[in-house]
Amino acid sequence: MSPPDGWDADELARAKRLAARVRAGDDRASGAAQIFAARAPGRVNLIGEHTDYSGLPVLPVAIDRSTIVAAAANAAGEIEVANADPAWSSRRFAIERRIPPYQTGDWANYVKAAIQGVIDRFSARSNWRGASMVVDGRVPPAAGLSSSAALTVSTAMAFMALNELELEPLETATMVARSEWYVGTRAGGMDQAASILGRRDHALFIEFDPLRVRAVKMPANAVLVVADSREIADKSGTVRAEYNRRVVECTLAARILGRALKLDGVTILGDVVRAQPGWNAADLVEKLAAAAPARLDAALKEAANLLGVSQSELDAELLGEGSNRIALDTKRPLEILKRARHVLSETERVIHAAEVLEAGRLDEMGKLMNASHQSLANDFECSTQRLDGIVEYARRGGALGARLTGAGFGGSIVALCDVADADAVIESIDRGYYAKLYPGAAPENWRAVLHAGAGASVIDLRANA
């Protein structure tokens, strides 16, 4: 039987090397032990940025760069995990009902997040098989390409396979998306869904609540140039604080709009949109502007008054409690109107983008991507000078559209190009951006033409020996 799509000869060879390491490193896993390899790709988002945690649609592609985890059962009932990259040291931890996290920023917290997610999903089970695992990540980290989702998805799938557990892909995506909250980011579910449901040569129109996906064929003449600004979007530090702040701002906008429109049970902007068939962004933004000041104090006093709830109740609901509590810098006000304007207008752009991409209207797709970047820079305030610069060079080189991709605050940009123009776009970025910031350096590893690739899957390495 041939392995699932995505497992080409190189990926299989990688998996076999990792399996050899699993065997060599753990005599309990030696000999005939069953070894699984899970492969999960990163993703690049074409459009629909900072909409997923509002339950609103996104349009990413899974990319042809992946993380592979090889895993064998061990009798110790523990997780032992090594990384093929010696920069990340090995970790070992017990499988418990509540797995305590390592220090913030530790790579293996994503492994713990995945294992915890599976344990929580199958909470009736108690006899877990431990796993000896070796990880090889080829999705560039901190570049907006979701290396974290590639790691959590591959770990969760390998651990489930060892424990003879199976879920539908949509269910796995929901489970892993939620599990990443373990690392303290209140992310939506885009990355995990894209990694699991990716399809070769297709973008994915993903909707939430409930999660559903429609594959949108990429026109044959379209290519994606992804370029890393090399400004580190460090998800465990200040970027996490900014990201979580945006989540709070969007949630508040939703609650205020819900109240103004007399809707029950609104917690995210997606609830508002779904309750208003025929909605449009401009009208909703106008309603919000009429209902509340554009900015509210971060101590949540005004917001609590507007919503008719106590400040402490609102605080607990929005920021959470315990170790995962969001710490808000209260010196700056919360931007309600601008954030909502981005999310709602971006939602219109995503819906439109899926249509024009499907119809092969690449010029229009490019314009939507440019408008998205503008909105992220002005209203969502998550671009940087460097991201704006690299986007500009991509456009000057002939890209049909270019924008930051992922959370922003650094990381990568994505440019949509006609296949005939890809070299010129890369050349423009090399000369205008990399050569000026990194004179004399070779930029080959910093930018690439990426292709929409297959989603995650697990293979039994004995069957594919």
- Residues that are catalytic: 191
Instruction: State the nearest-atom distance from the C-beta of 414 to ligand NG1, in Å.
Output: 11
Specify the residue, 93 or 208, whose C-beta has the smaller distance to ligand NG1: 208
Nearest-CA neighbor of 197 among 142, 135, 143, 149?
A: 149
Instruction: State the nearest-atom distance from the C-beta of 178 to ligand NG1, in Å.
Output: 12
Q: Is position 244 an interface residue for ligand NG1 (rule: CB under 6 A)?
A: no
Specify the residue, 146 or 457, whose C-beta has the smaller distance to ligand NG1: 146
Q: Is position 80 an interface residue for ligand NG1 (rule: CB under 6 A)?
A: no
Nearest-CA neighbor of 151 among 161, 140, 162?
A: 140
Q: Is position 195 an interface residue for ligand NG1 (rule: CB under 6 A)?
A: no
Query: Cβ of 294: how many Cβ atoms within 10 Å?
Result: 15
Specify the residue, 49 or 335, whose C-beta has the smaller distance to ligand NG1: 49
State how far the Cα of 179 lies from the Cα of 152, in Å rounded to an integer.
8
CB-based contacts of 103, cutoff 8 Å, min separation 6: none
Specify the stretch interacting with ligand NG1 by CB under 6 A; choose among 22-30, 50-58, 280-288, 298-306. Answer: 50-58
CB-based contacts of 253, cutoff 8 Å, min separation 6: 269, 288, 336, 337, 339, 340, 343
Tell me which residues in 256-275 interact with ligand NG1 (CB under 6 A).
Answer: none
Q: Is position 52 an interface residue for ligand NG1 (rule: CB under 6 A)?
A: yes
Q: Is position 383 an interface residue for ligand NG1 (rule: CB under 6 A)?
A: no
Which pair of tokens denotes residue 253?
């906008």
Q: Is position 406 an interface residue for ligand NG1 (rule: CB under 6 A)?
A: yes
The residue assigned the tokens 């909409």 is: 51
Query: Cβ of 281: how many Cβ atoms within 10 Å?
Result: 18
- Of the candidate residues 188, 366, 397, 401, the single one contacting ligand NG1 (CB under 6 A): 188
- Of the candidate residues 190, 218, 300, 417, the single one contacting ligand NG1 (CB under 6 A): 190
State how far the Cα of 191 lies from the Cα of 40, in Å rounded to an integer.
11
State how far the Cα of 402 lies from the Cα of 368, in Å rounded to an integer.
9
State how far the Cα of 164 lies from the Cα of 98, in Å rounded to an integer.
21
Specify the stretch interacting with ligand NG1 by CB under 6 A; choose among 45-53, 86-94, 196-204, 264-272. Answer: 45-53
Specify the stretch interacting with ligand NG1 by CB under 6 A; choose among 3-11, 106-114, 123-131, 187-195. Answer: 187-195
Q: Is position 101 an interface residue for ligand NG1 (rule: CB under 6 A)?
A: no
Instruction: State the nearest-atom distance from the C-beta of 232 to ligand NG1, in Å.
Output: 12
Nearest-CA neighbor of 180 among 262, 101, 125?
A: 101
Q: Is position 117 an interface residue for ligand NG1 (rule: CB under 6 A)?
A: no
Q: Is position 407 an interface residue for ligand NG1 (rule: CB under 6 A)?
A: yes
Specify the residue, 146 or 345, whose C-beta has the smaller distance to ligand NG1: 146
Q: How buried is 447 (Cβ within 10 angstroms: 0-12 exposed, 13-18 middle, 19+ buried)?
A: buried
Instruction: State the nearest-atom distance from the C-beta of 310 to ligand NG1, in Å.
Output: 30
Secondary structure element (H or E) that encloses residue 241, with its range: helix 238-260
Q: Is position 194 an interface residue for ligand NG1 (rule: CB under 6 A)?
A: no
Q: Is position 64 an interface residue for ligand NG1 (rule: CB under 6 A)?
A: no
The residue with its CB nearest to ligand NG1 is: 406
Specify the residue, 258 or 408, whose C-beta has the smaller distance to ligand NG1: 408
For 58, which DSSP code?
B
Secondary structure element (H or E) that encloses residue 401, with its range: strand 401-404
Tell me which residues in 135-174 interact with ligand NG1 (CB under 6 A).
Answer: 144, 146, 148
Q: Is position 185 an interface residue for ligand NG1 (rule: CB under 6 A)?
A: yes
Q: Is position 187 an interface residue for ligand NG1 (rule: CB under 6 A)?
A: yes
- Of the candidate residues 11, 180, 379, 421, the single one contacting ligand NG1 (CB under 6 A): 180
Nearest-CA neighbor of 401 among 410, 391, 411?
A: 391
- The answer to whether 144 touches 202, Cβ cutoff 8 Å, is no
State how far the Cα of 204 lies from the Cα of 464, in Å rounded to an integer.
29
The residue assigned the tokens 């909707």 is: 207
Q: Is position 49 an interface residue for ligand NG1 (rule: CB under 6 A)?
A: yes
Q: Is position 132 an interface residue for ligand NG1 (rule: CB under 6 A)?
A: no
Nearest-CA neighbor of 111 among 214, 213, 25, 180?
A: 180
State how far the Cα of 298 lies from the Cα of 380, in Å rounded to an integer.
17
Instruction: State the nearest-atom distance from the C-beta of 79 to ligand NG1, in Å.
Output: 21
Nearest-CA neighbor of 288 among 296, 300, 297?
A: 296
Q: Which residues bind ligand NG1 (CB under 6 A)?
A: 49-50, 52-53, 144, 146, 148, 180, 185, 187-188, 190-191, 406-407
